Amino acid sequence: MSEKQKGLLSMFDPVKLDRPPSRKRVKTLVIGLCLGAVGAAGFALRSIIPTFAVQESSVHVANELCPQARSMTPVKHSAIWNTLVERSASEEFKERAVEWLSGAVKIRTESYDYMEPVGVDPRWDVFGSFHDYLFQAFPLVHSTLALTKVNTWGLVYVWPGSDGSLKPILLTAHQDVVPVNPETTDEWEYAPYSGHYDGEFIWGRGSSDDKGGLIGILAAIENLISVGFEPSRKAVLAFGFDEEASGLHGAREIAKHLLSAFGEEAFAFIVDEGGNFQESFGSVVAFPAVAEKGYMDVRLSVASPGGHSSIPPKHTSIGLLAALIAEIEANPVAPKLSRDNVFYDTLLCAAVRSAEIDPDMKKAILASIISDDALRAVESIIFKVPLISSLVGTTRAVDIIGGGVKANALPEYAWAVINHRIATDSSVSEVINIDTQLVKPIAAKFNLSLTSFGDVITDPSVPYYGSIVLSDPWGNQLEPAPISPYKGSAAFNILSGTIKSVYNTHRGLNGDDNIEVYPSYMTGNTDTRYYWKLSENIYRYGHGNGLGGRGIGNIHTVNENIPVDSLLEMIEFFTALILNADEATDL
């Protein structure tokens, strides 16, 4: 921390670490942290902290610790922007937007885990119908942009720019949706693939995740072409087709194509699905994700002698597995609050920009910039809330289990799969070590050998009753994503300024204080997991409207829907983002 920042903090009294923040006010903070915590495509961090008017005396502290971009409205392209904003407000355009998304939702582009390759598994073929639909729905896009199909169903569009010296931008979304459980069909207000519009909401699987984003991008470009806009900066669109199944056939292959065609660090920035904006106690904050948690599945296997169930041992392999699972669930990975964690900067933003946070909590957060004791005090408060602990720390969940074939036969083998979401300041290797150390005492207690990811942990010369093996069942380990720049970043400022401008324009507001932008991160994973080499500036944000009401809601479950007003604002967002990026001179 700089001397200047230390001086700015001197206006605050030293934090009283012997007096914790009042429970009532801490609960208020916690409620704000928990609002909107469940995300789109499974898993985006939607709202973190309630934001309030900043006291005038601390404005300069806020600007130091949580800088805010100015609202950024297109200037060079102001006539185009104003024309399209006026169009967006018309009933005619609203009807067109509804038709675009409703038609997309009607096509059942489900992706499943462990599908056979393209050309082998017939379930991929539905994407042909979806491509046909996009072709007829967006004729200007398809007559102006160059389209390449990657691995048959991946879509990469290139909109040439007149100035080849400018780095292009990459906008991404995914075509696929999670399958609808047939047993829940009767629970839907409208059939899950009806694309029904009730005058306010568009209903159906994919309306929010992520066909709303895909249609928002294409609609913005169709609009821009229709009024004669010709970009200076090249724009590239990439639409995968199996994001809901880890993107192995879609985004992974698209990434190879883009690296071959453009090279590493070729893009000024990448924007994919992710955060939205939320209201907390009367104020509005947008949460673009600048990082993602990592991912790892661990297969926990136990082997022991079989035999007739009438002569059972003290513990069968299933019993041993149960003991291991109980130990794992009783000892979750302890979350850490570090100054390198994006969530820490979110807390700083809350401390300096939220007037109604408990004063002691505010002081503790500010003091934690230079005081480890204060950092631990803040940590001890926020991690008492399980949801916050899960959002920030590494999590484990035992999701699959198997073992045994018959009631009168002792099972020689039992296994479970444990899903891990790895904290942004942790790693795959650290999680493997934590799991291994946790299992070791159980192995010793029951005289079982232990092998962890190919490494023999126990003495191989000792006779054991059975064995424990930790392994990777599917080879899908993923390190936490690199943290994209956000403080002082030109790309993040353009994104933030666009967010503010579109929010204001859509509501007829002026100024910079109607909405603020805090950095956040994804607890799940997006297609950007494959795009790390293409740009350091990767932001997961869709400008979805989370302000009360029913939408955007019910992602991955029954009654998924999106308000048509949110769709219209998404279209405005992508329009402004393209125009602002086109005018930028510092990307």
527 is in an annotated binding site: no
CB 62 within 8 A of CB 195: no
Evaluated on CA atoms 172, 175, 180, 186, the torsion sign reads positive
> Tens digits of per-residue pLDDT, 36-65?
332 222 222 223 223 323 333 445 666 788
- Residues of the chain with pLDDT > 70, as a percent, come to 87
The pLDDT score that the predictor gives to residue 351 is: 86
Q: How confident is the model over 544-561, as a mean pLDDT? A: 74
Mean pLDDT within 172-178: 97
Query: Looking at residue 43, what is its pLDDT?
Result: 26
Question: How much of the chain is in helix, strand and coil states, percent to nearest 5?
Answer: 40, 20, 40
Residue recorded with tokens 């700015």 = 8
- Of the candidates 75, 72, 88, which has an alpha carbon nearest to the alpha carbon of residue 226? 88
* pLDDT score recorded for residue 60: 62
Predicted pLDDT of residue 47: 31
Q: Are 489 and 472 in contact (CB under 8 A)?
A: no
Question: Comparing 25-29, 437-441, 517-521, which segment has the lowest mean pLDDT?
Answer: 25-29
Q: Render 393-443 in DSSP notation, one character per residue.
A: S-EEEEEEEEE-S-TTEE-SEEEEEEEEEE-TT--HHHHHHHHHHHHHHHH
Query: E strands of 318-383, at which residues?
Result: none
Catalytic site residues?
176, 243
pLDDT grade, residue 549 (50/70/90)? Answer: low
What mean pLDDT is predicted for residues 484-509?
97
> CA 404, CA 318: separation in Å to the nearest integer?
8
- What integer pLDDT is reported at residue 63 of this predicted model? 77
Q: Is the pLDDT of residue 253 over 50?
A: yes
| Average of per-residue pLDDT across 485-490 | 95
Structure-model confidence comparison of residues 534 and 350, the more confident one = 534
Q: Is 244 part of any known ligand binding site?
A: yes
Instruction: Please tell me which residue, 352 or 97, carries the higher pLDDT value.
Output: 97
Is a pLDDT exceeding 70 seen at residue 20?
no
Q: Which of 469, 464, 461 is nearest to 444 (CA)?
A: 464
DSSP string, 164-182: TTSPPEEEEEE--BPPPPG
456, pLDDT greater than 80: yes
Question: What φ, ψ does residue 154 adopt, rounded to 5°?
Answer: -75, 140
Biggest alpha carbon–alpha carbon distance for the chain: 85
Of 149, 155, 104, 161, which Cα lies nearest the Cα of 130?
Answer: 104
**Domain 294-333+394-471: which CATH number of 3.40.50.300, 2.60.40.1170, 3.30.70.360, 3.90.79.10:** 3.30.70.360
506 in a known ligand binding site: no
Residue 149 has what pLDDT? 98
Percentage of the chain modeled with pLDDT above 90: 78
Region of poorest pLDDT, from 9-13, 360-364, 483-487: 9-13
What pLDDT score does 350 carry?
A: 86
Q: Which of 6-10, 215-219, 343-347, 360-364 has the lowest mean pLDDT?
A: 6-10
- Residue 361 pLDDT class (50, 70, 90 cuts): confident
* CATH code reported for the domain at 78-292+481-583: 3.40.630.10
Q: Which of 82-96, 339-353, 420-434 has the lowest mean pLDDT?
A: 339-353
What is the pLDDT confidence band of residue 15, given thresholds at 50, 70 and 90? very low
The domain limits of the chain are 3-66+346-391, 78-292+481-583, 294-333+394-471
The pLDDT mean for the chain works out to 88
User: Was 556 annotated as part of a binding site?
Assistant: yes
Quote the pTM value. 0.89
CA–CA gap between residue 393 and residue 431 (Å, rounded): 11
459 is in an annotated binding site: no
The helix (run of H) or strand (run of E) holding residue 212 is: helix 211-226
pLDDT at residue number 552 = 55
Residue 349 CA to residue 359 CA, distance in Å, equals 14
Of 35-49, 109-123, 482-496, where does mean pLDDT reach its minimum?
Answer: 35-49
